[in-house]
Amino acid sequence: MRFTAAVTHETPWYLARCLEVEVASQGESIEEALANLKEALELYVEDMPLPEEMESPIIATVELSA
């Protein structure tokens, strides 16, 4: 099963969140945040049934004028 993660830096942490389901985690590095997110997702799918088909999220940039 493949999920999409968005990672942001909120000093001193990196925050990784899954775009398909409401699961997030953090770490002191990008790699640690993603590893922690993977663990959180594994626990999530043990307890919550996932839809048979999940559509991939549409990733887009939105630009505002200054």
Confidence band of 14 (pLDDT split at 50, 70, 90)? very high
**What pLDDT, in 10s, does the model give residues 30-64?**
999 999 999 999 999 998 877 778 888 999 999 99
Q: 7: closest CA among 28, 64, 57?
A: 28
- Looking at residue 30, its pLDDT comes to 98
- Looking at residue 25, its pLDDT comes to 98
- The two tokens of residue 23 are 């699961």
- Looking at residue 28, its pLDDT comes to 98
